[in-house]
Amino acid sequence: MTITIYHNPDCGTSRNTLALIRNSGAEPEVIEYLKQPPGKAKLQELIAAMNMPVRELLRKKDTPYEALDLDDGKWTDDELINFMVAHPILMNRPVVVTPVGTRLCRPSEVVLDILPAPQLSEFIKEDGEKVIDKEGNRVLNK
């Protein structure tokens, strides 16, 4: 069973997602996408697997999104993917691929929907929010 996470270790959501994967007993393939960008074909494959519009994978915060005027509707999906290839920081993260599915895991708890194994123990996110209780059950926070 292979699980892959396109990860940015500087991102709290990405770190929490990776920790949730490990809390299920899995050791994923970790791809630091800023060091090893996925390339155009892989991005197209991931977007298709997530069944999401290309624009939903674009990250706006702390990226060249505004400088490149990517909010303009003139850009085609292919052009937007080319921007992500040229500027990997534009790819929102983390993206997780499991045998159950592929998702952009924002918030990090989204990964629970595609993990093939249950959580093994309590899990509290870096910000102190409890996600999994001591019995391994998901905590529904409001």
Structure tokens at 45: 């494959």
What is the reported pLDDT for 100?
Answer: 97
pLDDT band with cut points at 50, 70 and 90 for residue 1? low
Is the pLDDT reported for residue 125 higher than 60? yes
Quote the CA–CA distance of 20 and 44 in Å, as a whole number. Answer: 26
Superfamily (CATH H level) for 4-132: Glutaredoxin (3.40.30.10)
pLDDT band with cut points at 50, 70 and 90 for residue 136? confident
Catalytic residue numbers read 11
Give the residue extent of every domain in the chain. 4-132
